[in-house]
A and B are shown apart, each in its own frame.
Chain A
Amino acid sequence: MTALLEIGSVGRAFGGVYAVRDVSMAVAEGETRAVIGPNGAGKSTLLNLVSGHLVPDHGTVVYGTGDGARRIDRLAPHARARLGIAVVFQAARLFRGMTALENVMVGAHARTRHGFLAATLRLPRHRREEAAIRADALAALDRVGLRDWAHRSAEALPLGQQRSLQVARALCARPRLLLLDEPASGLRAAEREALARLLEGLRGEGMTMVLVEHDVAFVARLADRVGVLDLGRLIAEGTPDEIRADPAVVSAYLGAEPTP
């Protein structure tokens, strides 16, 4: 398997304290990779270093396969999005004042090529593109179970569905690499199950995913491989079964969450 994403000993400090320290990780094309760890382990920071919302102090992030592989660690987030990287944030980062459908349609921005003039004058070329994106957005909404909400306001959605809407927005970009930041947090049992099924479906289609998660049980059923972060360092890497048997992981988790 060739690597689609190769993180090479990246580090990022905030005020002299390292949130991520010398982490290296290779994610193969089509793989579902989970990154777990206790709170404050640096999981979200690592994800932001890949999405571009943070720039590493040192180290490299290489994205792409074969001749298409290139360093992306200095690129702005929007440029990375145009290379096929999509993100689902933990917080509900939606576009307020727009309908659910419009939110998802904006998600396709990374793969559109249109001019302001064509858009304002509603030239045929632009109308065709818009119709195609609308169809894609409706399909994405359907997939996350929000088809009925399409023309309603996005911010009025319950929290769980706001997460689903973000997934639909990311899917509308037809990403090559999907980054998910604690997608199951704050969800009720039924919502978690629906999300897990959705991610399993994407995995079956060969989508490459990096999934940052607090909940070990949730990732065990989804991930091909799991990386474990603790205090900004990668302390273990392997299949879910290997990880559960790893003494370093057990102690990191026990250390972070003392038994009552």
Chain B
Amino acid sequence: MSAFVQYLISGIAVGCGFALLAGGLVTIHRVTRVVNFAQGMFAVVGGMTAGSLLARGLPHGAAEAAAVAVTGAVGLAVGLAATGRRGTDARAALIVTLGVGFLAYAVEIMIWGDGPRSHEGIGGAVTLAGAHIQKQSFLVIGVTAAVFALLALFFGRTYLGKALSACASNPYAARAVGIDVVRMGLVAFALGGALGGIAGVLLVPLQPVSYDSDVLLITNGFAAAVLGGLDRPGVALAGALTLGVAEAMVAGYGEASYQTVVALGLMLAIMTWRASRRSALQEEAAR
């Protein structure tokens, strides 16, 4: 029983990390129709930057906030490279984000080396139903809940959120009603960068990251996001939590090395299922 609770909570915490990543993917896709494959890189950069700043003596909170600001700026830069030119095709932009992600490997290795790195989160643990649970897990869950509440409020309830969604829905008409589509896309990329950064700074104390951890993160984040057609933050959150818990159970009761296989298998199943339905990607192609 205690093992189950432990796997469940740590699974939810890791799932929240995937959810934050998926939230960034959804935010960027909703506004620009670009699938941002550099999203995992934001988390890696965020986690490592926070670690370096903490090592230089910056206090907790300030270091994490600064790291998130940095990834927001990195997100903006990726957005500029991928969509900055007016009229860039979303599929071409996707390839640019993939390229930027690989380019980032070189930069990350130059700055932080190629070994896994970690930093302290909020230390300590609590015992719940006989299970030993890190306090950091609860921080991840709390922050994710707050972030998704804000995202849902912003996209669902405010008309500025509607204006952002309008950019992807019909960019031609969006321009005609006074929306600067390129600028809104850059705002989405900066927001996506910040969300990736939040995921990074929160996850690193739970599991160390190295420069190529982005593959694992983007695989899980994309699997969660694609569940909601890359457009619905709520569905992505549910998907990410399912993935996180399923993987924690697989690792706990079975073999840890199978957990990525679970994510990939689930993603393939969802994509095959969605391919038979009218997805956002197909709508784009049909327009």
Residues of B within 8 A of A51 (CB): 176
B177 touches A107 (CB 8 A): yes
Give residues of chain B (249-287) contacting chain A, Cβ–Cβ below 8 Å.
283
Q: Which of B162, B173, B181 contacts A93 (CB 8 A)?
A: B173
Q: Which of A91-136 contact B (CB under 8 A)?
A: 93-98, 102, 105-111, 114, 116, 119-120, 122, 126, 130, 133
Contact in complex: B173, A89 (CB < 8 Å): yes
- How distant is B184 from chain A, measured CB to nearest CB, in Å? 10
Interface size on B, residues (CB 8 A): 28
**Interface residues in chain A, defined as those with a beta carbon under 8 Å from any beta carbon in chain B:** 51-53, 76-79, 81-82, 86-87, 89, 93-98, 102, 105-111, 114, 116, 119-120, 122, 126, 130, 133, 169, 173
Instruction: State the main secondary structure of chain B at its contact with A.
Output: helix
Return chain B residues, CB-CB under 8 Å to A109. 163, 177-179
Partner of B162, one of A81, A82, A96, A106: A106
Minimum distance in angstroms from B250 CB to a CB of chain A: 35
| Bound CA–CA A94/B86 (angstroms) | 21
Interface string of B160-192 (1 = CB under 8 A from A): 111101100110111111111100000100000
Chain A residues with CB under 8 Å of B165's CB are: 95, 97-98
Taking A78-B178, A95-B162, A95-B170 as known contacts, 8 extra A-B pairs with beta carbons closer than 8 A to each other, sorted by chain A number, are A77-B175, A89-B176, A93-B176, A96-B170, A98-B166, A106-B166, A119-B160, A122-B153
Q: B166 to chain A: which residues have CB within 8 Å?
A: 95, 98, 106
Residues of B within 8 A of A86 (CB): 176-177
Q: Say yes or no for B128: interface residue by CB 8 A criterion.
A: no
Q: Could you tell me if B175 and A76 are in contact, using CB atoms closer than 8 angstroms?
A: yes
- In the complex, what residues of A have CB within 8 A of residue B283's CB? 96
Nearest chain A CB to B88 CB, angstrom units? 15
CA distance A222 to B238 in the complex (A): 55
Which residue, of A52, A82, A109, A173, has the highest number of chain B Cβ atoms within 10 A? A109
* Contact yes or no, B179 A116, CB < 8 A: no
Residues of chain A within 8 A (CB-CB) of B157 are: 122
* Partner pick for A120 among B150, B173, B178, CB 8 A cutoff: B150
Q: A119 touches which one: B154, B169, B176 (CB < 8 A)?
A: B154
**Are the CB atoms of A53 and B175 closer together than 8 Å?**
yes
Chain A residue with Cβ nearest B167: A95
Report the minimum CB–CB distance from A216 to chain B (whole Å): 27
CA distance A89 to B172 in the complex (A): 10
Q: Which residues of B contact A53 (CB under 8 A)?
A: 172, 175-176
Main secondary structure of the interface of A (DSSP, over half): helix
Q: In the complex, which of the residues A78, A82, A119 contacts B158, with contact meaning CB atoms closer than 8 Å?
A: A119
| Chain A residues near B172 (CB-CB < 8 A) | 53, 89, 93
Whether B153 lies near A120 (C-beta < 8 A) is: yes
Cβ-defined contact, A173 with B178, below 8 A: yes
A81:B176 contact, CB within 8 angstroms:
yes
List CB contacts (< 8 Å) of B132-168 with chain A: 150, 153-154, 157-163, 165-166
Q: How close is A154's CB to chain B, nearest CB, in angstroms?
A: 10
Top 9 closest pairs, chain A to chain B, by CB: A110-B178, A81-B178, A77-B175, A93-B173, A119-B160, A119-B158, A95-B169, A95-B166, A87-B176
Q: Taking each of A79, A89, A96, which has the highest tally of chain B beta carbons within 10 Å of its own beta carbon?
A: A96
From residue B122, how far is it (CB to closest CB) to chain A in Å? Answer: 26
Nearest CB in chain A: distance from B231 CB, A = 8
Q: Is the CB of A105 within 8 A of B175?
A: no
Residues of B within 8 A of A78 (CB): 174-181
Check A93–B170 contact: CB distance below 8 A.
yes
Q: List 15 A-B contacts (CB under 8 A).
A: A52-B175, A53-B175, A76-B86, A76-B180, A78-B178, A79-B180, A94-B170, A97-B165, A98-B165, A106-B159, A109-B163, A110-B177, A119-B161, A120-B153, A133-B159
Query: In the complex, are the beta carbons of A77 and B176 less than 8 A apart?
Result: yes
In angstroms, Cα B161 to Cα A169, docked, is: 17
Q: Which residues in A have their C-beta under 8 angstroms from that of B158?
A: 119-120, 122, 126, 130
Residue of B nearest to A96 (CB): B169
Which B residues are CB-close (under 8 A) to A77? 175-176
In the complex the two chains form, what is the Cα distance from A106 to B178 in whole Å?
9
A169 to B231, CA, bound (A): 24
Residue-by-residue, is B62-90 near A (CB-CB < 8 Å gives 1, otherwise 0)?
00000000000000000000000010000
A111 to B177, CA, bound (A): 9
**Are A102 and B159 within 8 A (Cβ)?**
yes
B180 contacts across to A, CB distance below 8 A: 76, 78-79
Closest to A52 in B: B175
User: How many Å from the CB of A87 to the closest CB on chain B?
Assistant: 5
Q: Which of B153, B166, B178, B180 has the most CB of A within 10 A?
A: B178
Q: Which residues 183-241 of B have a CB within 8 angstroms of A?
A: 187, 231
In the complex, chain A residues whose CB is within 8 Å of the CB of B231:
97
| A residues in contact with B175, CB < 8 Å | 52-53, 76-78, 81
